[in-house]
Amino acid sequence: MDKNSLKKDLIVFAAVVIFYALVQVFIQTGIIGPYYSLNLILMCINIMLAVSLNLINGFLGQFSIGHAGLMSVGAYTSAILTYYYDLPLVVALIVGALAACLAGLVVAIPTLRLKGDYLGIATLGFGEIIRVVFLTNETVGGAKGFFGIPKLTTWTWAFFLMVLTIIVIKNFIDSSYGRSCIAIREDEIAAEAMGINTTKYKILAFTIGAFFAGAAGALYAHNFYTIQPEQFNFMKSFDIMTMVVLGGQGSITGSIIGAIAVTVLNAALSSLAAMRMVFYSLLLIIMMLFRPQGLFGTTEFTLDQVLGRRGRLGKSAGNKASV
């Protein structure tokens, strides 16, 4: 850690805090109305989902389309804790995320032996099974949905959890663990030959992704008073995947931009439901045909680029971009 990077971290930290404080003040004073603050929170949740899925799809290179299922585990677990046991949000969040983590582990251990599209279908299958479990469980409302969840998610919670997600995943990727994951993505057989325990790293990355998906789910549940199993079907997984693909698989900055873009589009086009999805699907197809690597590819937006210097990938680049 040289002096220069410390300075950069401080700049990013200051920018994050200032951005948070500004929005918080705007919300408090009512300049940002309830509709917009709701969408800002949703944006943070979507960024968490996209970045955590990107860890699995983009950096580990394993095709998972069951992210909404893991999210729903976090959502339902935390909702049960706050609704039936009156626990504070922080406990519900941690337990929800850990439950999703555990579910991720259960999904990962058998399915990660599979490759490519088979893995995709298996994760989709698990996601659907999780949905059916909630659908048939009457204590959580069954098909009607879980009503009366206290609204505990605030801008502060959503924003700082999002920042935490980005920092943890960014640091994970920059660590030797993350490098091993990228090696697995590039060539699994070669990675194994270099002595990387591929199963271990796959499971590790998958459970970390699941953890943050669960945390995002917990925030989501406490933002809308109610959750339904249908909200977490594979269409939701595709939604998250769109964000990741749009931004670029293997770029955290890309996922953040993708999540912001999708949230804004969702809000702007909410009055024309089917039209919006047609637009998404065309976007997805055109993206794959003409720019399969996504907007950012595997590159990151860093502070060095802003300052006109070329250097190592900024440690906190992701934070900066979200601001």
Partner 1 sequence: MQQFLQQMVNGLSLGSIYALIALGYTMVYGIIRLINFAHGDIYMLGAFAGFFAISAFHLSFIPSLIISMAICALAGMLIKRVAYKPLRTAPRISMLITAIGVSLFLENGGLMVFSPSIRTFPTVFPVKTFSFFGGLVKLTVKDIVVLTVMIVMLILLQYLVYRTKIGKAMRAVSFDKDAASLMGVDVDTTISYTFAIGSALAAVAGVLVGIYYNSVWPLMGIMPGLKAFIAAVLGGIGIIPGAVLGGLLIGVTETLVAGYGNSLYRDGVAFAILIIVLLLRPSGLLGKNQREKV
* Contact set with partner 1 (CB under 8 A): 63, 65, 110-111, 113-114, 116-118, 120-122, 124-126, 128-129, 132-133, 135-136, 143, 238, 241, 245, 273-275, 277-278, 280-282, 284-285, 288-289, 292
**What is the closest distance, in whole angstroms, from the C-beta atom of residue 230 to partner 1 in the complex?**
12
For 193-228, b where at least 16 C-beta lie within 10 A, e where not — what string? eeebebeebbbbbbbbbbbbbbbbbbbbbbbbeebb
Q: Which residues partner with 146 through β-bridges?
A: 227
Indicate the residue among 88 and 110 with the shorter CB distance to partner 1: 110
Q: Which residue has the tokens 């479990």?
A: 133
CA 124 to chain centroid, in Å, comes to 17
Cβ neighbours around 261 below 10 Å, total? 17
Helices (H) and strands (E) in the chain, counts: 14, 0
Indicate the residue among 223 and 233 with the shorter CB distance to partner 1: 233
Q: Give the CA distances from residue 148 to residues 99, 131, 222, in Å, rounded to whole numbers and listed in that order.
A: 21, 20, 10
Indicate the residue among 15 and 284 with the shorter CB distance to partner 1: 284
Asked whether the beta carbons of 59 and 178 are under 8 A apart, the reply is yes
Q: Residue 196 region, left (φ>0) first, then alpha (ψ -120 to 50), else beta?
A: beta
Query: Which token pair is 93?
Result: 């969040």
**What is the closest distance, in whole angstroms, from the C-beta atom of residue 273 to partner 1 in the complex?**
8
Query: Which token pair is 61?
Result: 């290179």
Indicate the residue among 11 and 114 with the shorter CB distance to partner 1: 114
Query: Which token pair is 297?
Result: 């590819």
Read off φ and ψ for residue 146, nearest 5 degrees: -100, 115
Indicate the residue among 92 and 124 with the shorter CB distance to partner 1: 124
**What is the closest distance, in whole angstroms, from the C-beta atom of residue 45 to partner 1 in the complex?**
22
Indicate the residue among 174 and 186 with the shorter CB distance to partner 1: 186
**What is the closest distance, in whole angstroms, from the C-beta atom of residue 266 to partner 1 in the complex?**
14
Q: How many residues does the chain have?
A: 323
Look up residue 94 and give its amino acid.
Answer: I
**What is the closest distance, in whole angstroms, from the C-beta atom of residue 185 to partner 1 in the complex?**
11
Indicate the residue among 213 and 241 with the shorter CB distance to partner 1: 241
**What is the closest distance, in whole angstroms, from the C-beta atom of residue 153 to partner 1 in the complex?**
29
**What is the closest distance, in whole angstroms, from the C-beta atom of residue 269 to partner 1 in the complex?**
12
